[in-house]
Structure 1
Amino acid sequence: MGSRGLLVPISSVHWARGGVHPGQVASLLQDLCSLDRIHLMAGRIPVDSHRATVSREMEDVFVKNLSYAADILSREGITGLIEPINSRITDPRYFLDSPHQAAAILEKVGKPNIQLQMDIYHWQIMDGNLTQNIQKYFPIIGHVQIAQVPGRNEPDSDGELSYSYLFSILEKLGYHGYLGCEYKPLGKSSFK
């Protein structure tokens, strides 16, 4: 499953002192792929650590690294996206696990080219209350991902979410971006 990001591990606070910062990698990718958005994964809580014990320090590191990345990305016209990933099912150690936490971090970063990637699957698992959360956080949403809950299957499969309703909310709010589909197909699929 990989490291799930490099922007929050405490050891990553000194990117500027040496090595390649993820923002610099994004800049190189932009040259190759003409991308305008990139997902900046937060990272995981260290093994044998408790969230409450390391949370403040990890948040401080994340904010510093996002600010640094924002400056690099802005020179290339790239928007960085942070995505809360649920810690109940997908990854109990993932640092950034709720839209509320992500919004607070974005406020501290204060850079318009660092925005929220709303994965409706994760938001439903962690908090529910999707109508109010979408409306509340819409001004900072830079990308939307969809999948059905609880199995992370196709959005039109049976499950907890009515995507026609959720799409109507996004449309009323004026969302004109892409919808990313990140799901596990129930049946055969040509996508792997």
Structure 2
Amino acid sequence: MATDQNRRKAIKHILAGSAVVAAGPALSAFTPAEKKEKDSMTSLKGNIKHSVCRWCYGGIELNELAAAAKEIGLVGIDLVGPKDWATLKKYDLISTMCNGAEISLTKGWNDKQYHDTLIKNYTEHIELVAQAGYTNLICFSGSRNGMDDETGLKNCTEGLKQIIGLAEKKGVTIQMELLNSKVDHKDYMCDRTPWGVELCKRIGSPNFKLLYDIYHMQIDEGDVIRTIRDHHQYLGHYHTGGVPGRHEIDESQELYYPAIMRAIVGVGHKGYVAQEFIPAAADKLGSLRAAIKICDV
């Protein structure tokens, strides 16, 4: 004769089996590819909007990179100009940081001789970015070429103020990238956060921000987390990269990215974080997946 305990076990097994049978049609409704995509999208925590820089994967065709980005759970790809936006849209991705209006890293807003060209380029691109439904457009200070900080600030302010009204009207944020002048971009002017913050204050618009490149600023300043906490209201976008070498952001380099990402989340950042390291491993997309996992705090 069965005991009450045995009956309870039997009922439990019957109910569990019924649940599996009932769930069968629902589980089989997803193809393996669909389930893989669904799992990848839901596995990210949602605290950070992840992206990746196009130029770091120049050896990979854009369609392949876009497909991988979508599968990993990224929202878009950085530094993609108008000619490639249609490809991103095919994969339901966005250009998280648009480019194409700049002349170069060395010829920028700090030199008045380039203002006419830059104003024309940025006026056109602000319109294009807004029409595409995107919100960010990169810009650069240019090289010093013997220019002092104050003159550079005055020149940048004068030039950028001539386009910032249109940017405000169209909902586009112009973002000047901070680059190191010690290793990669000798003589670049916007190489310190305080200089960039002062430029933001002089322009005085919520549509002008700094693109804080963690790799570059670790080289020229260090003190990354304190800087993010102290100046986050002026930092509209972030780039990653392993120091030294700008390769994978794993334990092979000196920065601890989980803590940096927690600081970014902690200050309430609502923009994007884009991976901008140059993969050294043979499996470049594997390195990208690993980096997203490290940064998804």
Q: Is TM more than 0.5 here?
A: yes
Distance in 1, matches of 2:137 and 2:278, equals 22
1:158–1:133 CA distance, 2 compared to 1 (3 A): same
Aligned residue identity for 2:114? S
Superposed CA deviations along residues 10-68 of structure 1, whole A, max 9, x for unmatched, are 3134x3xx88533213223315533201111111223xxx244xx33222111111212
* Shift in Å, 1:108: 0.9
Which is richer in helix?
Answer: 2
Summarize the alignment of residues 27-176 of structure 1 with structure 2, pairs less than 5 Å apart: 27-31=126-130, 33-46=132-145, 50-52=146-148, 55-156=149-250, 158-176=252-270
Range moving further from structure 2, 26-35 or 80-89: 26-35
For the 8 Å contact 1:23–1:70, the answer to whether it is kept is: no
Distance in 2, matches of 1:77 and 1:9, equals 26
Question: RMSD across aligned C-alpha pairs, in angstroms?
Answer: 2.1
Match of 1:12 among 114, 117, 120: 114
Distance in 2, matches of 1:165 and 1:77, equals 31
Aligned length: 182
Distance in 2, matches of 1:135 and 1:105, equals 18
Match of 2:121 among 1, 4, 22: 22
* Shift in Å, 1:99: 0.7
In structure 2, stretches of 5+ residues that fail to align are: 1-102, 288-297
Distance in 2, matches of 1:145 and 1:135, equals 16
For the 8 Å contact 2:130–2:171, the answer to whether it is kept is: no
Distance in 2, matches of 1:84 and 1:173, equals 19
Q: Secondary structure at the match of 1:21?
A: helix
Larger Rg: 2
Distance in 1, matches of 2:144 and 2:118, equals 22
Aligned residue identity for 1:29? L
Distance in 1, matches of 2:114 and 2:269, equals 34
In structure 1, stretches of 5+ residues that fail to align are: none
Match of 1:3 among 96, 104, 109: 104
TM-score (norm 1): 0.85
Q: Secondary structure at the match of 1:42?
A: coil
* Shift in Å, 1:156: 2.5
Aligned residue identity for 1:126? D
